[in-house]
Amino acid sequence: MKRLVEIDSIVEELLNDRRGLKDLLPRKDFPVLGSSRHARVGKNVMVGFDEDVMELKHRLTGWESKLQAIPINGMEAWGRRYLIVLDDMWTTEVWDDLKRIFPDDVNGSRIMLTTRLLDVAVYATDSFSPPHQICLLDEEKSWHLLCQEVFGQEDCPPEFQELEDIGKMIARNCNGLPLATSVVEEVLRKFPNLKKLGVSYYADSIEDWSAYNLKNLVRLSKLENLKCAFTWPPNETFLPNLNFPQSLKKLTLIGSKLSWKDMSIIGSFPHLEVLKLRRFAFTGEVWEPVEGEFCRLKFLLIEETNLVQWIAENTHFPCLEHLIIRQCRDLEAIPSSIGDIATLKMIDIYDCSSSAVASVEQILEEQRDME
């Protein structure tokens, strides 16, 4: 009984210390998100769940006198110091090295370690102390958590309905991690004043792009820098759901596999100065820009594409300063009229066909003759 009183005394001290267990316990004033599980984030509050924290507290202050390790698996590292916390354990070898430091004095000591790897969690346990598995949030709870952090309530208020679609898309891409959800809420707090955004889409396949609400990007009316990466070929539902804001100054597309005939979508941006097209951002053998587009473009990168013929005049890129062509092995030539652009400062060509390289050399030679 004396030992339990001593442990309770330690817990009480930690509860009164904002650097201790107090930070591990859920906030009492936080609304429940559909069940007894919820998460709260802040400078001094752990991202986690009621029942998980209470079970861990019980295991940390239980009767067992033998030294115990309490692995936590299934979530990005989130531990805060209580007794001993080993954060984000990656290998069993590290555990073997570290556990030698802590003697078993049979005094009720506890070691809590977090890991993303189940095999490490199982390795660090004994038969009396199985790993504690933390479950991820489902899509609905991720959205409620995001709303709670941004708006202070479980749903998006009517005056911010224009953010709901893109907010749900971001919450979905957090993959159930409360910590990731709490991080992106800082991004949502800046809507619609966001100026820089990167979005990556990773999946085996997508049947209907409308579920990803790409068309809602247009609502970010002050966005200047956007990077979008895709890892699978788009289908017929992709382009109708793609809508960029006209405010863009810098755009990077990776793996979007759009057709060159759809380039007008981008060429019409009135403020675009930097365009980077990587890893088959556009596909097709022929690209012929439209007069009056790319009126302010200064930097153009085309990297890894199956483009064969690029038909262009100097008037198509009146402000171009830097042109970089890489891994375009099918491209026959750089349009000779590119050399007539008055603002052009550099052409960089790498890992392309010999004929494309020769066309650049010809442009440079003509420019030298004009000096």
**What is the predicted pLDDT for the residue at 343?**
95
| In a shared domain, residues 202 and 322 | yes
Helix axes 178-189, 164-172, angle to 10 degrees: 150
Model confidence pLDDT, tens digit, residues 263-311:
988 999 999 999 999 999 999 999 999 999 999 999 999 999 999 999 9
Residues 154 and 222 in one domain: no
Spatial separation of the C-alpha atoms in residues 248 and 237, rounded to whole Å: 23
Q: Are residues 141 and 128 in the same domain?
A: no
Angle at 152 between CA 76 and CA 171, to 5 degrees: 40
* Residues 238 and 266 reside in one and the same domain: yes
CA dist 134 and 116 (Å) reads 10
Asked if 68 and 169 sit in the same domain, the reply is no
Task: Answer yes or no: is pLDDT of 17 > 70.
Answer: no
Render pLDDT for 86-105 as a digit per residue (tens, 0 to 9). Answer: 888 888 888 888 887 777 77
Per-residue pLDDT averaged across 145-156, rounded? 78
| pLDDT at 188 exceeding the cut of 50 | yes
3 state SS of 144: helix
1 CB burial (10 A radius; 0-12, 13-18, 19+): exposed
Contact 356, 328 (CB under 8 A): yes
| Domain closes at, from 133, 157, 174 | 133
The CATH number linked to 211 is 3.80.10
The whole-number pLDDT of residue 71 equals: 65
Give percent above pLDDT 90 in the chain. Answer: 30
Of the spans 122-131, 146-155, 321-330, which averages the highest pLDDT?
321-330
Residue span of the structural domain in which 142 resides: 137-191
> Are 181 and 264 part of one and the same domain?
no
Please report the pLDDT score of residue 38 as a whole number: 38
Which of these three, 145, 173, 191, is where a domain ends?
191
Bigger pLDDT: 331 or 131?
331
The pLDDT value given to residue 139? 80
How far, rounded to the nearest angstrom, does the alpha carbon of residue 91 sit from its chain's CA centroid? 25
Q: What is the pLDDT of residues 156-181, one digit of tens each?
A: 777 677 677 777 777 777 767 665 55
Neighbours of 141 (CB within 10 A): 21
Between helix 178-189 and helix 139-151 the angle, nearest 10°, is 40
Residues 208 and 357 in one domain: yes
Q: What is the pLDDT of residues 46-79, one digit of tens each?
A: 444 566 667 766 776 665 666 666 666 554 433 3
Domain boundary among 104, 133, 162: 133
- pLDDT for 263: 92
Q: Do 103 and 56 have their domain in common?
A: yes
Q: What is the pLDDT of residue 271?
A: 96
Q: What is the pLDDT of residue 63?
A: 58
Question: What's the number of domains the chain is made of?
Answer: 3
List pLDDT tens digits, range 98-135. 887 777 777 777 888 888 788 888 888 876 677 888 77
Q: Specify the DSSP class assigned to residue 226.
A: E
What is the per-residue pLDDT for 248? 95
Shared domain for 187 and 82, answered yes or no, is no
Q: Are residues 154 and 177 in the same domain?
A: yes
Residue 211 and residue 181 share a domain: no
Per-residue pLDDT band at 37 (split at 50, 70, 90): very low
One domain, residues 144 and 291:
no
Give the pTM: 0.56
Taking only the tens place, the pLDDT of each residue in 236-260 is 667 666 788 899 999 999 988 889 9
Instruction: Give the mean model confidence (pLDDT) for residues 172-198.
Output: 68
Is 352 or 7 the better-scoring residue by pLDDT?
352
